Amino acid sequence: MTSPLGKDLLGLEHLTAEQINLILDTAEPLREISERTIKKVPTLRGATIVNLFFEASTRTRISFEFAEKRMSADTVNVAPAASSVSKGETLVDTARNLEAMRIDMVVIRHGSSGAARFLAERIESNVINAGDGTHEHPTQGLLDMLTLRQKFGSLVGKKICICGDVLHSRVARSNIWGLTKLGAEVAVCGPRSLLPNAIHEMGVQVFDRIEQAIEWADALNILRLQLERMQAGYIPSLREYNRVFGVTRERLERAPRDLLILHPGPMNRGVEIDSDVADGPHSVILEQVTNGVAVRMAVLYLLAGNSPRLAEAAKGGA
Amino acid sequence: MTDILLRGGRLLDPSTNLDAVGDLLIRDGKIESVGGKIAGPDGATIVDCTGQVVSPGFIDVHCHLREPGREDVETIATGARAAAAGGFTAVCAMPNTDPVTDNQAAVGFVLKQGRAANAARVYPIGAISIGQKGEQLAEFGEMVGAGAVAVSDDGKPVVSAQLMRTALEYARTFGIPVADHCEDPTLAHGGAMNEGLVSARLGLKGIPSEAEEIMAIRDILLAKRTGGHVHLCHMSTRGSVDLIRWGKDRHIRVTAEVCPHHISLTENEVEGYDTNAKMNPPLRTADDVLALQEAVKDGTIDVIATDHAPHHYDEKEREFSDAPNGIIGLETALAVNITWLVQPGIISVATLIDKMACAPAKLFHLPGGNLRRGTEADITVFDPTAQWVIDPKAFKTKGRNTPYGGRTLTGRVSCTLVGGRIVHSIMG
Amino acid sequence: MGRAAYFTFDMTPAPTSVVLSARAFERTITRMADEIIERNDGTDRLLLVGIQRRGVQIAARIAALITARESVEVPLGALDITLYRDDLQTVGPRPVVGKTHLPVAIEGLNVVIVDDVLFTGRTIRAALDELADFGRPARVSLAVLVDRGGRELPIQPDVVGKHVEVPIGSRVDVCVAELDGKDEVLLVATEAL
């Protein structure tokens, strides 16, 4: 028998609505574990998980680590600076070495699109994509959906606009696939220089003005604008970006309805989002963080059902 | 040297409108007689070519043999043997080696290694600029004197329009084509595949068609201005085809090549991040493939060249964006061309031979490319209907980087003769 | 595991005998409620915790009976023991995780775990482990509607609705009105003997 999710979680593009709902439905009751005196369940006792982070990330790595530890897994964090990756070892060798140490799962964050899949095709362990290049960041997409689902009940017919640098955003891609599969209407809004040329072929609407997006949407998922985009010449300045595309209280006040405000973090206050929006009554940014741990616990739980090594251990040790 | 009699094959030479079943006799390395029934002289080797096509030897005007510099990936010897196995009796080696083939000594080295390989003939292409740096013109005259047949900075575009203009003007003295790799480096910067829906989905930086087309029209306009012969390498888009047609309609001296992979595969091959589908220019859309096939048929595209580019296994076995561009092509070219151009009825076998043998010889002023009596016996015998499974491990090239591995293709080289000598044969 | 499956869709129904009818069900639960009050010296510091799924409804039923009799609200919780199961590390589809909710801190309380059927004892082992992660109750006891024997762990109930001898090849099905339309306990033969 195999896990209903398969061996790995690499992205949301190729999952079905049923699979996405299974993860969200599982995450829902797992939120409670983080409220307990002893925030730990024995579910993944004996499982070894490696957090292989080739790109710096505080938020996602900590969230995964909490999720793993609350499920009682043993975790090892590997960062390029502390590993032989910086000595020129290839990704595949790094992975095979880790696997030779009998690990059960790898959580990988990597700067190259497709790196998680590359790894998954070459090792037996379960692989969870924690962000690969500008491709996908499935657990972020899932936690965004869990947050929206809690607020809206159902996502069917809800209008979600993803704002900002969609071109370079793995969060945007995971959101687009996941939200559309669950029946939401999805739009993007940002300067055309930061939207993929073929964006309309991905089943989303495009707004050129943030005012139009605010008038249309039930929720805004506001992406982080990387400083490097300005240096690379995609936009003239952060100042102008804020003036044209920044989500401000004044703009939101003109909206016909209250909009939920999401942001994957870390925020550039005063660039893509103003502080009084980020900290305002309709911001669910902190709930996203809480949901992040629950969603990652759910993914760990569901994928562990397909770990051949754990199964073998269970047979031998029963 | 023993006489060789190719018996009973379909003798096919579009340059002389020859298409008849008959015999072909080779004596002293030259074609002694063509057509009809020929009695085998005493001691002649007789090759039964029943059901086979006997064609002028294929000539590849665009390949990368990696020597000097990356002998671990390919040498001129392994490349020349791979060429022979693919039915090529001659190949033109691009100068982007280490060091660059940008002077007469380097040209002489390639020729020397090619002769020593004793397989397909190897003709050097010299660099346009010293070190392919795009700054100072290389010594075309001395390189041609040493045996270079064309100039190119392939692997990189000639960024400076002024340098390209000068190259086209200066090359006229020596009657050689200037072959350009058309790519606007600012548009293509950091790109890993065709720009479009697939690149947006996979999160890979795209290379827009315009990166190629802008340079193609620049080169065509400069050829118009200078009267020089510009040869556009590995054309990959519908837009480029339209621009070449525009140039040819105005009798501008532009010629163009297409690679087998660009008339057969689309950007969808990249799905799954297969680095064997990564090359520059990238695989484009189904519409581009259709346009290129049509352009081969109507003559807008003059030649089919492989852009054979071997890479080490480890270099391709890695993250897509970090993997090098290029695929091997010498040993699959005929089968890919037959499978995707001849079998669907887009072109005839005769037209294919024109694109792979006659036109390359004519455009690059090379010997061969015909079956005339008295010419050097550079001949390819192939079975246009044989089906075979592509097994990269069985290749003569050191490269294994091909997206065709495991596929069943139609059309296989049976025997390759260079100067009347059999350099490759699977005919038992 | 002792969790019974509740519906069979066989075209030829297996021979079935009724262990508890709806009325007997009601009487049994009422007696269990009384015993729980007695054993815990009244209702002060009492917490009923039902095990997902049918233990939750039975616990709610008992809580309502206690409220009716003693005129006090008894806090009522639910435990889902899925994440504490000892057979998770086998290949197979992951069981659905249900809700766990304890309305009050369990420190110093008399906790009564309520379940429908006690069989191997493995579910109760998991429930005890899970409870321990919430704090340290003064006392934990176990109330089950049906004890069918067949223990695989040293676990015994404190309050039992009905002891049932279950022959090999049979199982006990518990139905509750909230989920199954009516209250009933059945002994169902799963294979022809």
pLDDT in tens, A103-140: 999 999 999 999 999 999 999 999 999 999 999 999 99
Q: How many CA atoms lie within 13 A of C86 on its CB side?
A: 15
Q: How far apart are CA B217 and CA A176, in angstroms?
A: 38
pLDDT score, position A312: 55
Residues of A in contact with C92 (CB under 8 A): 1, 305
**Domain residues of chain C, as ranges?**
25-164
A198–B196: do the CB atoms touch at under 8 Å? yes
Q: How far apart are CA A270 and CA A237, in angstroms?
A: 13
| Partner residue facing B273 (CB), from A114, A136, A173 | A114
Per the rule left: phi > 0, alpha: psi between -120 and 50, beta: everything else, B8 is left
> Any CB–CB contact under 8 A between B161 and chain A?
no
Give the residue from B268, B273, B285, B318 with the most A CB atoms within 10 Å of its CB, the best one to mutate. B273
Q: How confident is the model at residue A1 (pLDDT cuts 50, 70, 90)?
A: very low
Largest CA distance in chain B: 67
Contact A245, A272 (CB under 8 A): yes
Q: How many CB atoms are closer than 10 A to CB B190?
A: 10
H/E segment holding residue A298: helix A285-304
| Partner residue facing A198 (CB), from B200, B205, B321 | B200
Q: How far apart are CA B422 and CA B420, in angstroms?
A: 7
Which chain A residue shows the shortest CA-CA distance from C133?
A: A38
Using only the alpha carbons of chain B, give its radius of gyration: 20
At position A308, the amino acid (one-letter code) is P
H/E segment holding residue A261: strand A260-262
Looking at the complex, report in whole angstroms how far the Cα of residue B274 sits from the nearest Cα belonging to chain A: 9
A3–C98: do the CB atoms touch at under 8 Å? no
Greater confidence (C29 vs A311) lies with C29
pLDDT score, position A318: 31
Positions of E strands within C80-169:
110-118, 139-147, 159-163
Q: How far apart are CA B242 and CA B222, in angstroms?
A: 17
> Any CB–CB contact under 8 A between A135 and chain B?
yes
Does the pLDDT value for residue B83 go beyond 60?
yes
Which chain A residue shows the shortest CA-CA distance from C136?
A: A37
Q: Which of B49, B65, B13, B86 is nearest to B368 (CA)?
A: B13
Does the pLDDT value for residue A96 go beyond 70?
yes
**Domain residues of chain B, as ranges?**
4-53+375-425, 57-363
Q: How far apart are CA A262 and CA A161, in angstroms?
A: 10
Helix (H, G, I), strand (E, B) or coil at B353: helix
DSSP label of B126:
B
Q: How confident is the model at residue A226 (pLDDT cuts 50, 70, 90)?
A: confident
Contact B298, A70 (CB under 8 A): no
Q: At A44, phi and psi to the nearest 5?
A: -105, 30
H/E segment holding residue B199: helix B197-202
Q: Does residue C53 have a cis bond before it (omega within 30 degrees)? A: yes
At position B132, the amino acid (one-letter code) is Q
How deeply is B373 buried, as exposed, middle or buried, from its count of CB atoms within 10 A (0-12, 13-18, 19+)?
middle
Is it the case that chain C and chain A have 3 or more CB pairs lying under 8 Å apart?
yes
> Any CB–CB contact under 8 A between B202 and chain A?
yes
Looking at the complex, report in whole angstroms how far the Cα of residue A231 sits from the nearest Cα belonging to chain B: 15
Looking at the complex, report in whole angstroms how far the Cα of residue A42 sits from the nearest Cα belonging to chain C: 6
Q: How far apart are CA C95 and CA C78, in angstroms?
A: 17
Looking at the complex, report in whole angstroms how far the Cα of residue A255 sits from the nearest Cα belonging to chain B: 31
> Any CB–CB contact under 8 A between B206 and chain A?
yes
Q: Which of B400, B405, B406 is nearest to B312 (CA)?
A: B400
pLDDT score, position A89: 72
Greater confidence (C145 vs A308) lies with C145
The overall average pLDDT reported for chain B is: 97
pLDDT, tens digit (0-9, with 9 covering 90-100), for A6-27: 899 999 999 999 999 999 999 9
Q: How far apart are CA A52 and CA A123, in angstroms?
A: 14
> Any CB–CB contact under 8 A between A113 and chain B?
yes
Q: How far apart are CA A301 and CA C89, in angstroms?
A: 10
Residues of B in contact with A170 (CB under 8 A): 203
Is it the case that chain A and chain B have 3 or more CB pairs lying under 8 Å apart?
yes
| Partner residue facing A306 (CB), from C87, C91, C98 | C91
Tell me the mean pLDDT in the region B215-234.
98
Residue tagged active-site, from B307, B354, B378, B383 = B307
Superfamily in which the B4-53+375-425 domain is placed by CATH: Urease, subunit C, domain 1 (2.30.40.10)
Contact B7, B48 (CB under 8 A): yes
Which fold does the domain C25-164 belong to in CATH? Rossmann fold (3.40.50)
> Any CB–CB contact under 8 A between B189 and chain A?
no
Subunits touching B (CB < 8 Å, at least 3 pairs)?
Answer: A
Tell me the mean pLDDT in the region C106-133.
96
- Looking at domain B57-363, which CATH architecture does it have? Alpha-Beta Barrel (3.20)
pLDDT score, position A316: 43
Q: Which residues contact B16 (CB under 8 A, 6 or more apart)?
A: B370, B371, B372
Residues of B in contact with A136 (CB under 8 A): 203
How deeply is A111 buried, as exposed, middle or buried, from its count of CB atoms within 10 A (0-12, 13-18, 19+)?
middle
Subunits touching A (CB < 8 Å, at least 3 pairs)?
Answer: B, C
Residues of C in contact with A43 (CB under 8 A): 83-84, 88
Residues of chain A with a CB closer than 8 angstroms to some CB in chain C: 1-4, 25-26, 29-30, 32-33, 36-38, 40-43, 46, 71, 298, 301-302, 304-308, 310-311, 313-315
Give the residue from C53, C79, C83, C86 with the most A CB atoms within 10 Å of its CB, the best one to mutate. C83
pLDDT score, position A3: 62
Helix (H, G, I), strand (E, B) or coil at B108: helix
Looking at the complex, report in whole angstroms how far the Cα of residue A260 sits from the nearest Cα belonging to chain C: 26
Cα separation values, B45 from B1, B27, B421, Å: 10, 11, 11
Give the residue from B202, B267, B284 with the most A CB atoms within 10 Å of its CB, the best one to mutate. B202
DSSP label of A40:
-
Q: At A242, phi and psi to the nearest 5?
A: -60, -40
Q: Which of B424, B389, B394 is nearest to B406 (CA)?
A: B389
Tell me: ipTM over 0.95: no
Would residue B391 show up in a list of annotated catalytic residues for this protein? no
Does the pLDDT value for residue B266 go beyond 60?
yes
Residues of A in contact with B322 (CB under 8 A): 112
| Partner residue facing A310 (CB), from C89, C93, C96 | C89
Q: How many CB atoms are closer than 10 A to CB B399?
A: 27
> Any CB–CB contact under 8 A between A201 and chain B?
yes
| Partner residue facing C135 (CB), from A4, A26, A37 | A37
Does the pLDDT value for residue B406 go beyond 60?
yes
Query: DSSP assignment of B12-28, as one string?
Result: EEGGGTEEEEEEEEEET
Across A71-102, b (16+ Cβ under 10 Å) vs e yields bebebebbbbeebebeeeeebbebbeebbeee
A305–C101: do the CB atoms touch at under 8 Å? no
Is it the case that chain B and chain C have 3 or more CB pairs lying under 8 Å apart?
no
| Partner residue facing B201 (CB), from A13, A92, A133 | A13
Looking at the complex, report in whole angstroms how far the Cα of residue A306 sits from the nearest Cα belonging to chain C: 6
Interhelix angle A17-30/A138-152, nearest 10 degrees: 70
Q: Which residues contact C98 (CB under 8 A, 6 or more apart)?
A: A29, C52, C53, C78, C80, C82
Looking at the complex, report in whole angstroms how far the Cα of residue A258 sits from the nearest Cα belonging to chain B: 31
Beta bridge partners of B18: B13
What is the percentage of chain C residues whose pLDDT exceeds 70?
A: 89
> Any CB–CB contact under 8 A between B190 and chain A?
no
Q: How confident is the model at residue A305 (pLDDT cuts 50, 70, 90)?
A: low
Which chain B residue shows the shortest CA-CA distance from A201?
A: B197
Q: How many CA atoms lie within 13 A of A45 on its CB side?
A: 11
Q: Which residues contact B126 (CB under 8 A, 6 or more apart)?
A: B95, B101, B102, B106, B107, B138, B140, B143, B144, B148, B150, B151, B152
How deeply is B273 buried, as exposed, middle or buried, from its count of CB atoms within 10 A (0-12, 13-18, 19+)?
buried
Q: At A156, phi and psi to the nearest 5?
A: -60, 125
Tell me the mean pLDDT in the region C3-23.
66
DSSP label of C150:
-
H/E segment holding residue A146: helix A138-152
Query: Residue ranges of the alpha helices (H) in B118-191?
Result: 140-146, 161-171, 185-188
Q: What is the pTM of this model?
A: 0.91
Q: How far apart are CA A69 and CA C54, in angstroms?
A: 31
pLDDT score, position C90: 67
Q: How confident is the model at residue B285 (pLDDT cuts 50, 70, 90)?
A: very high
